[in-house]
Amino acid sequence: MFVDKVKVYVKAGDGGDGMVAFRREKFVPDGGPAGGDGGKGGDVVVEVDEGLRTLMDFRYKKHFKAKPGENGRPKNQHGKSSEDLVVQVPPGTTIIDDDTNEVLADLTEHKERATVARGGRGGKGNTRFATPANPAPELSENGEPAPERYINLELKVLADVGLVGFPSVGKSTLLSVVSAAQPKIGDYHFTTLSPNLGVVGVEDGRSFVMADLPGLIEGAHEGVGLGQQFLRHIERTRVIVHVIDMSGLEGRDPYEDFEKINEELRQYNMRLLERPQVVMANKMDMPGAQVQLEEFNKKVSEEVTVYPVSALTKQGLTEMLREVANLVDTTPEFPMYDEEEKEQRVVYRYEKKEDPFTISRDDDGAFVISGDEIEKVFKMTDLSRDESVNRFSRKMRHMGIDEALRKKGAKDGDIVRLLDFEFEFIE
């Protein structure tokens, strides 16, 4: 089975907790704090493995969690940082954030990597909080909570040449004749249900990779038939071979087929029509094909070169493959995404900074504090120690939460809720 799109969950490792400890050695009075920092959590990294061809493995495992960092230890020993969790994907995989649809990475080269979730930093041990005013602090930090997200992995096959056309026009037959690939061939529509790749050799020793893609029909760009499921694979090809059935056995007009397929390519992605296109008039060994070809040539533009071919008898294949090889040699790779435009958007786009906290009211009248920044500070606070709680209170005051609660109408004794923790507001 060919799997080319999956949704997976990834979570980086949380940072290890810092430790509260003191030196206790013989003949060393007033040893002072000796609590080590926690280790960094592991990142989740996506890496290309050229030995893979599909995303099949992700059908059985869709959750990936990196290990957290180790906690700090006594004697100022820092906790060990965890190793990164490496997820292997085939070449041609695009990583997209599920929530924002932002393209995170486009991986094509062997061993190319992209970090999709970074591990949390380790919490500080009490050694870090020692000051002349407080030389023996009983204060430490919990590890930083790591991010989690859903990402979509989309595989777009890496081929120099892509075959497009209506079902049953002879694409699979062509690939089987010009390469060692053995795609399924049948006298019915949608025989090909997944892309097939084959290496095509030309007489002069040149070679290129050709992809037989499932047949397209009208409305494919909107998902009709196999639609967008396989249109995405055309995006990476440098040359498009447009296969047309000149026999007319299906009852369709070859010129109308030609126009409809090009319209589907245009509707799906305007840049697909920038690629050079070779028009292959197939099934020329069938009766009436020559008449259809003459009518077709009258309707198409003079700029379009049509190659009469019979994939079954190999008639006309040599000349067409030579032209395709020439186009592959002279056509540069088309970038999947316009990097310059992307950089400009990043530089000049104004992004409003998210508020560090928001305050709302629950049905029971309690004030609810929420926000990524305040929740992160809360999770990194060791609530079992008074000094840590006092430090958290000072941070809340510094962020302006006390004043914001007063403006919302909070009075002495009112309940304030932050995640699962509740406390009283005191004037």
328 assigned binding-site residue: no
213 assigned binding-site residue: yes
172 assigned binding-site residue: yes
Distance CA 427, CA 412 (A): 5
258 assigned binding-site residue: no
* In contact, 107 and 91? CB cutoff 8 Å: yes
170 assigned binding-site residue: yes
Q: List, as one string, the DSSP characters of 103-142.
A: EEEEE-STT-EEEEEPPPPPPPPGGGG--SS-SS----BP
419 assigned binding-site residue: no
What residue has token string 């990597």?
Answer: 113
Torsion angle (degrees, nearest 10) of CA 155, 161, 166, 167: -70
285 assigned binding-site residue: yes
191 assigned binding-site residue: yes
* In contact, 331 and 212? CB cutoff 8 Å: no
Among residues 299, 305, 311, 159, the alpha carbon closest in space to that of 236 is found at 159
122 assigned binding-site residue: no
167 assigned binding-site residue: yes
Among residues 345, 226, 253, 246, the alpha carbon closest in space to that of 290 is found at 246
* In contact, 89 and 112? CB cutoff 8 Å: no
What residue has token string 């992307």?
Answer: 342
283 assigned binding-site residue: yes
Three-state DSSP at 296 gives helix
Among residues 158, 184, 173, the alpha carbon closest in space to that of 4 is found at 158
* In contact, 39 and 17? CB cutoff 8 Å: no
Listing from the earlier edge strand, what are the strands of the sheet with 44-48? 85-89, 44-48, 113-117
370 assigned binding-site residue: no
383 assigned binding-site residue: no
363 assigned binding-site residue: no
Three-state DSSP at 416 gives strand
Query: Hey, CA dihedral for 322, 323, 328, 329, is it positive or negative?
Result: positive
* In contact, 216 and 210? CB cutoff 8 Å: no
Distance CA 238, CA 211 (A): 11
171 assigned binding-site residue: yes
193 assigned binding-site residue: yes
212 assigned binding-site residue: yes
Distance CA 353, CA 357 (A): 12
Binding site, annotated residues for Mg(2+)? 172, 192
Binding site, annotated residues? 165-172, 190-194, 212-215, 282-285, 310-312
Binding site, annotated residues for GTP? 165-172, 190-194, 212-215, 282-285, 310-312
